[in-house]
Amino acid sequence: MIPLARREFDGNHHGLHHTLGEMTTMCGKCNALHFLEECVASSSRANPQFTLRCAQGKMTLPSLAPPPEPLRWLFISNEANAKNFCQRIHSYNNALAFTSVGANLNTSVAQPGNYTYCLRGELYHRMGSLLPQPSETPKFAQLYISDPHAELDGQMGNFGGLNRDIMQSLQTMLHECNPYANIYQTAMERLQGGVVELSPRFLNDRHTNLRRYNAPTADEVSTLMVGGDVDEANTHNIVIRSTNGYFQRVSPLHSAYAPLHYVLLFPDGCNGWHDDIPLNGFQWDGFGFIQDDENAVGGKRGSTHVTMLQFYAYILQHHINEEWILRAGRLLQQFIVDAYACTEQNRLKFIHENQ
C-alpha cells in the first residue's frame, strides 16, 4: 500500500486532511501547493524549489478538465444524495467502468470505520468481448452495447444499493462526453445493422498535442474494423472481438488504461500515461524525441520523456485550480494504490528486461 507521507486521505466528502501544518507554499514553476518541508534540500526557505509535481519545471502536462454536471454537483454539494454518492463513489465508478480490476485484496489490515484498499501481489485491468457468451450476464463495457434502459438495469443489478437517479444522470453524462461510451454506442448500431464480425481497436498513438489539453473524440481513440482480419500482435493497441469468451489484460502502458476504468476521475476520457510524453524542451519529429530548446534539461540517464511515476505524481499533487480530484474519497484511494502498483510493476519489468 502506498505511503501517503504527510498527506492523509479518508473516505468522506472532503477527501483530504492536512496533518503537519498547512499546504500553503506554492511551486514557482507549476503553482502546485506544498508543505514548506517538502522543498528540495539544496533550496532556501526564502526561495523553495519543489520536484514532486513538475520536476522543477522539466515537465508540463495537460490540466484535468473540471468535472461536467452532474458530477461536479455530486462532488461539492452537502445534500444527502451527494454525500451518499461520495461514500459509495467506488461502487458507482465500478458500475460504469469499461474494464474490471483483477487483484488479490488484503483485508487483514482493515479496521472498523476506516475504508482500506490494500493489495497483495499483482494488479491488472481486464476487458472482455463486445458481447457476452449466451449463458452470461453482460458486465462492464458489455452493458454499453444495449439500449439505455437495459444498460441502466444491468448497472444497477450488478452493484446493489446505488441510487437509480444518480446512476441515470451519470450514465447520460458519459454518453454525452466520454469517447469510449460513444465507441460502444456506434458498435451497437453497427451490430444492429447486421455486422457480425466487428472489432473495435483502441489506439495508442499520442504523438500530437501531447502537452495541450484536448478531450479526445471517438475516432481519435478507436477504429471499428469489420471482418476477422485483425492484427493482434501490435501491443500498442487494444483489439476487442465481438465474442471470444475470454478476458484480455489492458496494458498499464496504454493511454486508455486509467480512463477506461476510472470513468468518474476521467469522465471525458482524457489520455492517461504513455511512454511518448516529452519533457519540456523536447518534441516528436516523426521518429523520436529531439531537443528543440538548447536550454532543455533531460531526466535521469538522459531521458527525454515523462515517466509513469512523474505522470501520476503530477495529477495527484494538490493544485489550487485542480483540487476536485482530491474529493473522490475512496475512489481516489483505489486510484493511488493502482497507480503505485503500476509504477512498481513497470519498474520491475524494466529491471527484468535490462539487467
Please state, for a pLDDT cut of 90, what percent of the chain lies above it.
Answer: 23
Give the pLDDT confidence score for residue 128 in this predicted structure. Answer: 86
d(CA 150, CA 322): 35
Average pLDDT, the chain: 81
Per-residue pLDDT band for 338 (boundaries 50, 70, 90) equals very high
Residue 105 in this model has a pLDDT that exceeds 50: yes
Closest CA to 166 of 284, 45, 71: 71
Asked whether residue 253 carries a pLDDT value surpassing 80, the answer given is yes
User: Are β-strands 25-26 and 33-34 bridged in parallel, bridged antiparallel, or unpaired?
Assistant: antiparallel
* pLDDT surpassing 90 at residue 29: no
Whole-number pLDDT of residue 12: 43
Tell me which of 317 and 19 has the higher pLDDT: 317
**What percent of the chain lies above the pLDDT cut of 70?**
85
Task: Note the pLDDT of residue 274.
Answer: 84
Q: Bigger pLDDT: 112 or 329?
A: 329
- 122 φ/ψ angles, rounded to the nearest 5 degrees: -85, 150
pLDDT at 209 over 60: no
- Distance in angstroms (rounded) separating the CA atoms of residues 164 and 11: 22
Q: What is the pTM of this model?
A: 0.85
Evaluate whether 120 touches 162 at the Cβ level (below 8 Å).
no
Per-residue confidence band for 235, with pLDDT thresholds at 50, 70 and 90: low
Q: Is the dihedral of CA 216, 220, 221, 222 positive or negative?
A: positive
Q: Which of 41-45, 236-240, 279-283 has the lowest mean pLDDT?
A: 236-240
Please state which of the ranges 174-188, 203-217, 339-353 shows the lowest mean pLDDT: 203-217
Q: Check residue 20 and give its pLDDT.
A: 41
- In the predicted model, is pLDDT for residue 137 greater than 70? yes
- Say if CB 88 and CB 156 are below 8 A apart: no
Please tell me the predicted confidence (pLDDT) of residue 152: 87
- The model's confidence at residue 308, banded by pLDDT at 50, 70 and 90, is very high
Beta carbons within 8 Å of 199's beta carbon, 6+ residues apart: 224, 225, 230, 239, 240, 241, 242
Under the banding of pLDDT at 50, 70 and 90, the label for residue 13 is very low
